[in-house]
Each structure stands twice: as structure tokens, then as C-alpha cells.
Structure 1
Amino acid sequence: MEMQLLDYYKAIEAKSADMLQAAQSHDWDAVVDCEKACGVLINELRVQAEQNVLSVLERKEKTRIMQRILRNDAQIRILAEPWLAQLDHLGKVPASVMH
């Protein structure tokens, strides 16, 4: 089954929720893995967005999805700050995390 444009946003949201859950569990390897998966989905979303247009209702849903993703991201960052500070102190901050 071919994914529709809105499906990519939903998949990114789901992976964002997985990333938040991993951060809440202090499973930083899983956070990094989820971040990589999000990157793949975002790249595919960009390709699909050039070829497809969302309807008015889909754009409203996209906005709701993006707001949830941003809330997840903010919570992840709060949880990750102590971990990132510790890694920075050790000189080992992964480049993928500091984008």
C-alpha cells in the first residue's frame, strides 16, 4: 500500500512519540535510533510534498500533528539536557543530536 502525504506526518508523529518514550526511559540509544528513523521519514516527506498537495482538511490535520510533534520535541529536549551536558563534558556529543 502506497503511503499518502498525510501518512508521512502521522508516521513522523508516531516515531516522535517513540522517541519521547525512550527519553523518558533514559534509553538514549533508542532516542538516537528514533531520530534517525525520523530523518528518513522527513526526507521522504519532502519528496512526496513536492509531488502532492494536501486538501484543506488534511492541512488542518497536518497542523495538529505538527503541534504534537513540537510538544514531544520540547519534552525530549528537556529530558535530554542533562544527558547532553554529560556527553558534552566528556567531549562525546553525537553530531546527529546537536542539529
Structure 2
Amino acid sequence: MDASSQAIANYEALSILTGQMRDAAIDGEWDELISIEQHCGELVAAMKVIDVEAILDKDARQYKIQLIDKILSDDAEIRILVQAWMGQLELSMQSNRQEQRLLQAYGA
């Protein structure tokens, strides 16, 4: 596979992975999201070398742009979902701390 084909294949793979991450975030599967994110990191590291070498024709560049748009859209949705989950987690932790203070103040 030449560098151009490999570059496109990598963007397709990254697009699939970010879609899986988005689905995991929607389902609240945080461990799965982290696992997939690690695979994304490995792929992105490999892509840096190949992407520099790839010379894409007009159609391939346009397709690459579409893939990048999807990847960025997935990333934005993941960020929103993670921030919402973190907010819920923070509220839960605050509630637990308050409960602990009450137990300490009034005994168990």
C-alpha cells in the first residue's frame, strides 16, 4: 500500500474509532471509551509519519477533509458527554462528602 492509500486508510480507521468512542460515551461505557482512546493515540502517532509522506489527489484530499470533519464532530460530542458525566460525578462526590460530615457531626 502506498503512502497516500495508507494515509486515507488511517483516517478511515480513526473515524471508526472516534465513532466507537462517541457511542461508548453515549452509553456511559467510560472504561471502553478510555480503551478506545488509547488505540486512537497509537494510530495518531503512526499517522504523523505517513501523513507527511502522502501526496493526495483532489478527490482523496476532499475525502480526507470529510473524515476529519466527522472525527472533529465526534470529538466535540464526546467532550460534551464527558463534561456532563464529570458534572454528575462531582455532584455525587459533594453529596457523599456532605453525608460524611453529617455522620461525623452527629455520629453513625
Asked if these proteins are the same fold (TM beyond 0.5), I'd say: yes
Q: Which amino acid aligns with 2:38?
A: K
Q: List, as ranges, runs of 4+ consecutive aligned residues in structure 1 with deviation greater than 4 Å.
A: none
For residue 17 of structure 1, the aligned residue among 12, 16, 19 is 19
User: 1:6 is matched with which residue?
Assistant: 8
Query: Which segment is superposed worse, 11-20 or 33-42?
Result: 33-42
Q: Which amino acid aligns with 1:70?
A: L
Query: Which segment is superposed worse, 64-73 or 48-57?
Result: 48-57
User: 1:31 is matched with which residue?
Assistant: 33
Gaps of 5+ in 1: 91-99
TM-score, with structure 2 as normaliser: 0.73
Deviation at 1:19, TM superposition (A): 0.2
1:1-99 equivalence runs, <5 A: 4-85=6-87, 86=89
Q: Which amino acid aligns with 1:32?
A: I
TM-score, with structure 1 as normaliser: 0.79
Identity %: 29
Q: Write out per-residue CA displacement over residues 32-87 of structure 1, whole angstroms, 9 at most, x where no aligned residue.
A: 11111111111111111122212211110010001111111111111111333436
Figure out how many residues of one structure are paired with residues of the other and give that number. 89
What is the CA–CA distance in structure 1 between the aligned matches of 2:70 and 2:27, rounded to whole Å? 20
Q: Looking at CA atoms only, which structure, 1 or 2, has the larger radius of gyration?
A: 2
